[in-house]
């Protein structure tokens, strides 16, 4: 960016750029627009680069989550018990397909963990409409600023993370599952060392 600015300034001093563009006023407006674009784009780029997806074995950082079917919460509020985080969207067919199995999992008598859902929908109304139609009872949150999507590594949906009581990611599962199936229960028990 600095090289281009230097080149533009050299051409402008020599008058060559003014002749090429035909009007110095247009060029000044363009330069002002480029400066505004840099100011607006750079913070977002820096923020996106600073947030990387958490890997298995790493602790999940705290984040504030806006509630869809309940109040806003911080991720650290769920520490103390194992946590299952399901990232979904209302437009995602496989996400919708596995939602009922997460509900059944949450209602098991031996469920010694919390389960939450995080929607990546752009519009909270669409996510809420799906939750109402599916009679969701587990807590769901919305990630309309993509902070959680980036942090959780939700490059494709659905993705489900299994965290231990300290907030360390024990497993990350891409794709839909029947979360109350024997195979999924085995994965959960092994990740949380529940021994069931």
Nearest-angstrom CA–CA distance, 85 and 175: 13
Name the token pair of 88: 């979904």
Same domain, 83 and 145: yes
CA atoms within 13 A on the CB side of 25: 0
pLDDT mean over 120-146:
94
Same domain, 115 and 160: yes
Same domain, 93 and 153: yes
- Position 193 scores a pLDDT of 86
pLDDT mean over 94-111:
95
pLDDT mean over 111-131:
95
Same domain, 37 and 73: no
- Position 52 scores a pLDDT of 75
The chain-wide mean pLDDT, for the chain, equals 81
SS3 188: helix
Same domain, 78 and 103: yes
Is residue 16, in this structure, part of any structural domain at all?
A: yes
Question: Would you say residue 194 has pLDDT above 80?
Answer: no
Nearest-angstrom CA–CA distance, 84 and 171: 10
Band of residue 177 on the pLDDT scale cut at 50, 70, 90: very high
- Position 130 scores a pLDDT of 96
Least confident of 6-10, 24-28, 79-83, 101-105: 24-28
SS3 172: strand
Is residue 14, in this structure, part of any structural domain at all?
A: yes
The domain of 88 spans 64-192
Same domain, 40 and 86: no
10-64: pLDDT as tens digits: 545 555 544 544 444 444 344 334 433 333 333 333 233 345 789 999 999 999 9
SS3 145: coil
Question: Would you say residue 145 has pLDDT above 70?
Answer: yes
């Amino acid at each position: 960016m600095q090289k281009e600015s230097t080149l533009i300034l050299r051409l402008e001093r020599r008058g060559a750029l003014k002749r090429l563009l035909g009007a110095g006023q247009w060029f000044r407006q363009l330069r002002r627009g480029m400066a505004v674009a840099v100011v607006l784009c750079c913070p977002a780029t820096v923020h996106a680069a600073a947030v990387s997806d958490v890997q298995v074995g790493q602790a999940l950082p705290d984040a504030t989550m806006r509630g869809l079917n309940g109040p806003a919460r911080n991720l650290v509020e769920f520490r103390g018990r194992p946590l299952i985080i399901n990232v979904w969207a209302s437009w995602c067919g496989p996400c919708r397909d596995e939602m009922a199995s997460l509900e059944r999992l949450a209602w098991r008598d031996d469920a010694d963990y919390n389960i939450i859902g995080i929607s990546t929908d752009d519009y909270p109304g669409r996510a809420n409409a799906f939750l109402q139609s599916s009679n969701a009872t587990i807590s769901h949150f919305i990630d309309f600023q993509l902070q959680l999507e980036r942090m959780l590594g939700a490059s494709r949906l659905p993705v489900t993370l299994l965290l231990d009581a300290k907030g360390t990611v024990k497993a990350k599962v891409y794709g839909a599952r029947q979360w109350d199936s024997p195979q999924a229960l085995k994965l959960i028990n092994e990740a949380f060392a529940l021994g069931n």
